[in-house]
Amino acid sequence: MTTIGNGSGPRELAGKRALVTGGTRGIGAAVVRQFLDAGAEVLTTARSATSTVPDGASFVAADVRTRAGTEALAAAAQEVLGGVDVLVHNAGGARPHADSSAITDEEWQDALDLNYLASVRLDALLLPGMRDRRAGTIVHVSSAAVLTPVGPFLHYTAAKAALENYSRGLALELAPLGIRVNAVSPGRTATPGGEATREQWASLSVAPAETNAGDTTPLGRDGRPGDIADAVLFLASDRASWLTGRNLIVDGGEFPMG
């Protein structure tokens, strides 16, 4: 199967087989497009196939919140790509509530499954191949919101905080094998999921004073999906060959450092 893109950028991922979760819109779709342009063969996933899968990428429907979903995805990666050199955990999100007491047990579990355990499970399934080859790189997409956790979104930020801690520990464990693991933490980025979340939040009586990143971001605008994809591509490429265990915050300068 040939899934090489037609872009004109540097072919920094030429010959690499990449799996990107949540690649049908927003940040994930931008990552898929940039990876294709960089010469990678790309498989992506979402719960449902849409016409928005970037041209040139392979697609398999899977719900990464479930063990069955991650197992089906790992099997598809083996079948379609023959293995994975670059793994990007991008699918994520959660619905905000009025305060933390309104977050149900089911929603806590759902947030953990989507934003944290999906990565743990999929890494466990795909790492044996990377270990055998003593090569590979993983990028976990977290959130700059971890730096300022608030009640309405605690299920989300707590899950992402766990992801960051896990990402760092995995990086240290795998560094001797030459496998690099990093995280990217976006600030407020203009995506369908991000906009929907902010609309839900704004409709709550405890909505934060500012909901428009352009008002507060030193660089004066919301992030674009490509801004985040640039960071993911950098970390996935050999340009970041001396970078592991780090969390790159891409937020227009908005958040205080952790």
Tally of CB atoms within 10 A around 47: 14
Q: Does 155 bind ligand NAP (CB under 6 A)?
A: no
Q: Does 192 bind ligand NAP (CB under 6 A)?
A: yes
Part in contact with ligand NAP (CB under 6 A); list of ranges 9-17, 61-69, 201-209, 242-250 = 61-69
CA distance 36 to 53: 12
Q: Does 22 bind ligand NAP (CB under 6 A)?
A: yes
Which one among 114, 146, 229, 250 touches ligand NAP, defined by CB under 6 A? 114
Part in contact with ligand NAP (CB under 6 A); list of ranges 1-9, 101-109, 182-190, 234-242 = 182-190
Part in contact with ligand NAP (CB under 6 A); list of ranges 77-85, 86-94, 146-154, 237-245 = 86-94
| 3-state SS, residue 92 | coil
Asked whether the CA dihedral 114, 69, 60, 85 is positive or negative, the reply is positive
Whose Cβ is closer to ligand NAP: residue 23's or residue 136's? Answer: 23
Which one among 141, 146, 231, 232 touches ligand NAP, defined by CB under 6 A? 141
**To the nearest whole angstrom, how small is the minimum distance from the Cβ of residue 165 to ligand NAP?**
16
Cβ neighbors of 90 (< 8 A, separation 6 or more) are 20, 21, 22, 23, 27, 28, 31, 141, 232
Catalytic-labelled residue, pool 35, 153, 156, 166: 156
Cβ neighbors of 203 (< 8 A, separation 6 or more) are none
Q: Given the structure tokens 């540097």, which residue do they identify?
A: 10
Whose Cβ is closer to ligand NAP: residue 11's or residue 25's? Answer: 25
156 a catalytic residue = yes
Which residues, in sequence order, are bridge partners of residue 87?
Answer: 19, 138
Q: Are 4 and 36 in contact (CB under 8 A)?
A: yes
Interacting residues toward ligand NAP by CB under 6 A: 21-28, 45-48, 63-65, 90-93, 114, 141, 143, 186, 188-189, 191-194
Annotated catalytic residues are 156
